[in-house]
Amino acid sequence: MVSTHETFRIKIAARRQITLPEQLLELLRIDEGDTLEICVDRNVISGGCGLKLMPTSLFDEALMARLREREREIALGSGIKVNDAEELAVKLGRKPVLATSGV
């Protein structure tokens, strides 16, 4: 598995606005209108990911019920135990997606 480590400096402008570098958007596979989720642990950014959100009005009731059940399981600490991204991809039945820096 290819591992990529990139560092970005992002200035906070007036009214807490930021501009994300194009390379960062490409690495996270996000565009204008998408959501950037950032995890903070003891005043340090410990993780994050780009999210492409969609309205729940597009989901049928069976899927919504399954999503609510999964959220409950996660809140109770139930999750998928894995050692790395490749193992997670296998358990989810997906091919791993590798981030590239375009360099």
pLDDT tens, 31-90? 998 999 999 988 998 888 888 888 888 999 999 998 898 888 888 877 777 788 788 778
Tell me: do 14 and 29 sit in the same domain: yes
Contact 6, 23 (CB under 8 A): yes
Tell me: do 23 and 48 sit in the same domain: yes
Tell me: do 12 and 48 sit in the same domain: yes
Confidence tier at 103 by pLDDT (50, 70, 90): very low
**Domain, as residue range, for 77:** 56-95
Amino acid at position 32, single letter: E
Tell me: do 22 and 3 sit in the same domain: yes
Number of domains in the chain: 2
Contact 27, 4 (CB under 8 A): yes
Q: What pLDDT is attached to residue 74?
A: 82
Tell me: do 73 and 31 sit in the same domain: no
Amino acid at position 60, single letter: D
Q: Would 103 be classed as within a structural domain? A: no
Cα angle at 81 between 84 and 99, to 5 degrees?
30
Whole-structure pTM value: 0.52
